[in-house]
Structure 1
Amino acid sequence: MKDFEQPVLRVSHLNKQYGKGCASCRDAGGMVLNKNFCPVCATVYACRDITFEVYAGEILGVVGESGSGKSTLMQCLYFDQKVSGGEAYISSYKSGRENIFTESSQQKRYIRNRMMGKVYQNPVLGLKMDFSSIGNIAEKLIAAGNRNVREMEARGKELLEHVNIPVYRIKEAPRNFSGGMQQRVQIAKALSNNPPLLLLDEVTTGLDLSVQASVLDLIKQIQRRLKISVLIVSHDLGVIRMLADRTIVILDGRIVEQGLTDQILEDPQHGYTQQLVQSLLV
């Protein structure tokens, strides 16, 4: 698929473990693990040899049960967690030739503030709840080096209107908003610097069904209008079905299946994917 294009994001053999590991779990090739947990040394292998690509204008879905490693993957990509091993390349950063995981802290901040936006499952992690909504957007712009107050104010108003936050509430703190409105403010903040890549981590979890639908519809509209690349993780295959062009399925820290979303829904190959699809049909 699109093999003539350079991916916007290329991830190769990403690993993340909690614990030092031991001879039992390292040398046995994972044979002694209980799912992704070593009963000998208590090391958790959250991500194991994760490899994938995201292309321009594509929505790639990552689906898996709670504890499968999908949110850890997102934390590693956004530098909220340090990887244990692996590589990642962004085409707009040094022509896609430098492994972003091995860059300095200063360069990681540069990448995070200019080339990626993230919407967290818990808005408290993505927003300063005591700042105004427009102030949250200004914070992201300032972090990227913008110092023009008028430009930042204009950009903030434009984005908040774009995500359907009423004009008269843009100077109100997100703590006064509903969960769905907080997620929309997060989306506006994540888009403030026109990043080529948007990371969405369980953005509808905990929201009422009607609010979930409006947030998903907003994401779809924004992605089509801006032609931005999106990586979205969810435990809900219904969310992935609505949004994703391609999907990877993660179980116990490993990718067990990947392909076009329609293909995975119509003809799942792995037993775990079959269970997911069956639960969607019930």
Structure 2
Amino acid sequence: MYEKPILQVKHLQKQFGEGCPHCFDKESVYLEKNYCTVCGTVHAVRDVSFDLYPGEVLGIVGESGSGKSTMLQGLYFDSSMTSGAVYINQSELTGQNVLSLSSQQKRYIRNYIYGMVYQNPVDGLKMKFSSIGNIAEKMIAAGNRNVSNIEKRSKELLENVHIPLRRMKEEPQYFSGGMQQRVQIAKALSNNPPILFLDEVTTGLDLSVQASVLDLIKQIQRELHISMVVVSHDLAVIRMLADRSIVMLNGEVIENGLTDQILEDPQHEYTQQLVYSLL
């Protein structure tokens, strides 16, 4: 394990509503899960901190509504967080809380440092662009203007994710769910980002398709040594992919550690339920 994390997340908070004196205490009798019965505020992400190391896969697991996808959207700048800090260990960003950067600087991070694969491919792809056009668009956004380089790289990526090149001019709207996810993965990797976010990427796919997408992700990680944050409600997915894991419930981290350790000896009652549902 490397000494220095590539990504540090500190005290991330996201709330919908103003909040009130009754609901900022996590033990408050006025909180039902993460909802304040006095003022109606939803505390979607509550004081979440973690580190991601180079070449590591970090799993974030929790039921629907636990805050894991909201947190990922905040990290990728799809939505703003209420408070907290995120630091990226890249020379040009050292010591800067990237959440407080300008929209131009955030765009740079999205183009060069982050890759994102969404649960719903509609959020990550232009369905009426060709598959190769989707990948090219991401490269052009990052300043690449050499057409032959763009075409060569795009073809290489499509082959890597097992999309036949005879179909590269086809639009993703005509592809199966599994193929759409693979095009999304190719697009996310187009500028060689050191950090890749994956949000529920196998949800809604047939089991055999799920397996091929997970195999592809493992292969990419093995070959590129890319750091990944994998969000899922499915512990089987986390077990297959993640070195370390965080368990979230009602916006909070309730357990974290090595994935094997969490699966073999879960400490929190909720994690125990998750693990036993796997058996």
Shared fold (TM-score, shorter chain, > 0.5): yes
Taking every aligned residue pair, what percent have the same amino acid on both sides? 68
2:126 partner SS:
coil
Residues 57 and 152 of structure 1: CA distance in aligned 2, closer, same or farther (over 3 Å): same
Residues 77 and 93 of structure 1: CA distance in aligned 2, closer, same or farther (over 3 Å): farther
Gaps of 5+ in 1: none
In structure 2, C-alpha distance between the alignment counterparts of 1:250 and 1:261, rounded to whole Å = 14
In structure 2, C-alpha distance between the alignment counterparts of 1:30 and 1:138, rounded to whole Å = 50
2:208 match: 210
2:13 match: 15
Residues 118 and 93 of structure 1: CA distance in aligned 2, closer, same or farther (over 3 Å): farther
The reply to whether residue 78 of structure 1 matches residue 76 of structure 2 is yes
After TM superposition, the structure 1 = structure 2 runs for residues 83-232 of structure 1, keeping only pairs within 5 Å, are 83-92=81-90, 94-232=92-230
In structure 2, C-alpha distance between the alignment counterparts of 1:92 and 1:106, rounded to whole Å = 17
Q: Is the 8 A contact 1:14 1:48 kept in 2?
A: yes
Q: Is the 8 A contact 1:93 1:111 kept in 2?
A: no
TM-score after normalising by structure 2: 0.98
Stretch of structure 1 that moved more, 236-245 or 89-98: 89-98
Structure 1 residue 92: deviation in Å? 1.6
Structure 1 residue 133: deviation in Å? 0.4
Alpha-carbon RMSD across the aligned residues, in angstroms, is 0.9
TM-score after normalising by structure 1: 0.97
2:58 match: 60
1:24 partner SS:
coil
Deviations 1:154-198 (A, max 9, x none): 110000000000010011100000000000000000000000000
Number of matched residues?
278
In structure 1, C-alpha distance between the alignment counterparts of 2:277 and 2:202, rounded to whole Å = 18
Q: What letter matches 1:173 in structure 2?
A: E
Structure 1 residue 41: deviation in Å? 1.2
Residues 162 and 264 of structure 1: CA distance in aligned 2, closer, same or farther (over 3 Å): same
Q: What letter matches 1:145 in structure 2?
A: G
Structure 1 residue 95: deviation in Å? 4.8
In structure 2, C-alpha distance between the alignment counterparts of 1:48 and 1:103, rounded to whole Å = 22
Gaps of 5+ in 2: none
